[in-house]
Amino acid sequence: MIPYNMPIFVPGMLENMRQACEVNRKVSGDGPFTKKASKWLEELTGAPKVLLTTSCSHALDMMAVLCGIGPGDEVIIPSYNFPSAANAFVLRGATCVFVDIRPDTMNIDETLIEHAITSRTKAICVIHYAGVACEMDAIESIARRHGLFLLEDAAQGMLSAYNGRPLGTLGDMGAYSFHETKNFSMGEGGCLILTDAGYQLPAEMLREKGTDRSRFFRGEVDKYNWQTMGSSYLPSEINAACLCAQLDIAHKITSRRLQIWRAYHDGLFDLQAEGRIELPAVPPECRSNGHIFFIKCRDIQERTGFIAHMRGRGVTAVFHYVPLHDSPAGRKYGRFHGEDRFTTAESERLVRLPLYYELQDAQVEYVIGCVREFFMKAS
Ligand SMILES: Cc1ncc(COP(=O)(O)O)c(C=O)c1O
């Protein structure tokens, strides 16, 4: 079988883990590997502070706390999304207001956001699906005009950009995921990107059990104690060690993923031209990191047949997400604003093809051949 994802492995991961355990004797959080990864991410994004976290979900939870989101507040998010961002706000007692997506990028439709704003709206949280940016100029101007926090679930967006600016740095706070399904993996992990240095200390305390331990380690105070509410969001050095080995060759990893993405695009382009399938769009202002390659079938029935066909050929093709507004928790904790023109219909047509760093050219050609076989027969 060709899986849809293979968690990344590069040899330096083993050596780094050995160093953390045997040489550094530092396996808990915030040791040399965590510091190195944070510095690398700060240099990449230009953000004044990037904190490594135990997951992107936890970074999103931290954002909700840092923005002071609470009961009665509303947060505008797309329904076509992973549940983590919605959970972050719901855990604080807020309501999710789901807005429809654009069918070309599967991102929140920026033209619908303003209509969904009420006197209770506190934040807009975008997700850059497949590492392709939302229309951030328009969204930023809405957020500024209405005095709302602009938050980015950039779980899939490391090394993608919008008008040359890294994803995760286009709002007040952003988050990347380093889950094993992402381009870069520390198993479970993520980071919180702060574009405003004023949030550094509150975020550090929130991440370190509500204490000012980070200030103590910097020599800014002579003892640390419990300052505010917090939890433990710092990952182990073992996880950070894995990540560091990949960051050393981050551009090579991204180039390979983009090569595979382009091979799929070129190999299937004529099927789109003939109206048999649709391919992903990358608007000119967006630079993608090749995180996901998807195609869109005619409808859910065709997609079911396609997935079965690919399985029969030894290829795993998968779909996601089931729209949040139509899930048990979404119905309880949120509401859809306006008409669901595209969220449900487009989510039922989308299917992902295998894409991972070690996928070989011959395997890519094989997958393309299997896709072509199905859609040429379908006419
Ligand atoms: C858009 C999006 N947000 C959040 C997450 C959660 O990331 P993590 O598993 O690091 O918590 C994911 C992971 O799949 C995701 O795709």
Please name which of 170, 167, 169, 171 lies closest in space to residue 150, comparing C-alpha atoms.
171
pLDDT computed for residue 281 by the predictor:
93
- Domain of 282, in residue numbers: 250-377
Mutate to test the pocket of ligand 1, among 57, 81, 87, 181 (most ligand atoms within 8 A of CB): 57
Mutate to test the pocket of ligand 1, among 54, 56, 152 (most ligand atoms within 8 A of CB): 56
Non-local CB neighbours of 367 within 8 Å, separated by 6+ positions: 2, 264, 310, 315, 353, 354
| Domain-located, residue 78 | yes
Q: What is the number of the ligand 1 atom nearest to the C-alpha of 57? A: 11
Q: Which residues sit opposite 103 in a β-bridge?
A: none
**In this structure, are 101 and 174 located in the same domain?**
yes
**CATH assignment of the domain containing 176:** 3.40.640.10
**Strand runs labelled E in the chain:** 49-53, 74-78, 95-99, 121-127, 149-153, 161-162, 165-166, 173-177, 190-194, 286-287, 294-296, 334-336, 350-352
pLDDT computed for residue 232 by the predictor:
98
**In this structure, are 127 and 72 located in the same domain?**
yes
| Domain-located, residue 118 | yes
Mutate to test the pocket of ligand 1, among 51, 126, 156, 292 (most ligand atoms within 8 A of CB): 156
Q: What is the number of the ligand 1 atom nearest to the C-alpha of 84? A: 4
**In this structure, are 369 and 236 located in the same domain?**
no
Nearest CA to ligand 1 atom 8: 56
Ordered per-residue pLDDT tens for the chain, 379 residues: 999 999 999 999 999 999 999 999 999 999 999 999 999 999 999 999 999 999 999 999 999 999 999 999 999 999 999 999 999 999 999 999 999 999 999 999 999 999 999 999 999 999 999 999 999 999 999 999 999 999 999 999 999 999 999 999 999 999 999 999 999 999 999 999 999 999 999 999 999 999 999 999 999 999 999 999 999 999 999 999 999 999 999 999 999 999 999 999 999 999 999 999 999 999 999 999 999 999 999 999 999 999 999 999 999 999 999 999 999 999 999 999 999 999 999 999 999 999 999 999 999 999 999 999 999 986 5
pLDDT computed for residue 279 by the predictor:
98
Report residue 132 as tokens.
């392709």
- Rounded (10°) CA dihedral 95, 100, 102, 108: -10
| Domain-located, residue 174 | yes
Cα–Cα distance, 24 to 27 (Å, whole number): 8
Q: What is the number of the ligand 1 atom nearest to the C-alpha of 177? A: 10
Q: What is the number of the ligand 1 atom nearest to the C-alpha of 129? A: 1
**In this structure, are 35 and 181 located in the same domain?**
yes
Give 258: exposed, middle or buried? Use CB within 10 Å, 0-12, 13-18, 19+. middle
Domain end: 194, 219, 247, which one? 247
**CATH assignment of the domain containing 285:** 3.90.1150.10
pLDDT computed for residue 66 by the predictor:
98
Per-state percent for the chain, helix, strand, coil, to nearest 5: 45, 15, 40
| Domain-located, residue 40 | yes
**In this structure, are 151 and 137 located in the same domain?**
yes
**How far apart are the CA of 84 and the centre of ligand 1, in A?**
6
Cα–Cα distance, 93 to 193 (Å, whole number): 23
pLDDT computed for residue 378 by the predictor:
65
Mutate to test the pocket of ligand 1, among 96, 108, 160, 179 (most ligand atoms within 8 A of CB): 179
Cα–Cα distance, 172 to 152 (Å, whole number): 8
This prediction has a pTM of 0.97
Domain end: 222, 247, 272, which one? 247
Please name which of 267, 53, 265, 63 lies closest in space to residue 149, comparing C-alpha atoms.
63
Beta strands 74-78 and 95-99: pairing type? parallel
**In this structure, are 61 and 137 located in the same domain?**
yes
Give 352: exposed, middle or buried? Use CB within 10 Å, 0-12, 13-18, 19+. middle
**How far apart are the CA of 191 and the centre of ligand 1, in A?**
11
**How far apart are the CA of 306 and the centre of ligand 1, in A?**
26
Which residues have C-beta atoms less than 6 Å from ligand 1? 55-57, 81-82, 84, 127, 153, 155-156, 177, 179, 181, 190
Cα–Cα distance, 298 to 103 (Å, whole number): 13
| Domain-located, residue 324 | yes
**In this structure, are 63 and 174 located in the same domain?**
yes
Phi-psi group of 207: left, alpha or beta (phi > 0 → left; psi -120 to 50 → alpha; rest → beta): alpha
| Domain-located, residue 346 | yes
SS3 category, 203: helix
Count of the separate structural domains present in the chain: 2
Cα–Cα distance, 272 to 125 (Å, whole number): 32
**In this structure, are 241 and 276 located in the same domain?**
no
**In this structure, are 100 and 166 located in the same domain?**
yes
Q: What is the number of the ligand 1 atom nearest to the C-alpha of 59? A: 11
**In this structure, are 220 and 322 located in the same domain?**
no
**How far apart are the CA of 375 and the centre of ligand 1, in A?**
31
Cα–Cα distance, 48 to 82 (Å, whole number): 27
Distances (CA, A) of 198 to 47, 66, 178, 214: 12, 11, 25, 15
**How far apart are the CA of 188 and the centre of ligand 1, in A?**
10
pLDDT computed for residue 236 by the predictor:
98
Distances (CA, A) of 306 to 1, 359, 371: 16, 21, 8
**In this structure, are 162 and 287 located in the same domain?**
no
**In this structure, are 161 and 283 located in the same domain?**
no
| Domain-located, residue 2 | no
**How far apart are the CA of 155 and the centre of ligand 1, in A?**
5
| Domain-located, residue 1 | no
Domain end: 247, 282, 299, which one? 247
Q: Which residues sit opposite 296 in a β-bridge?
A: 278, 350
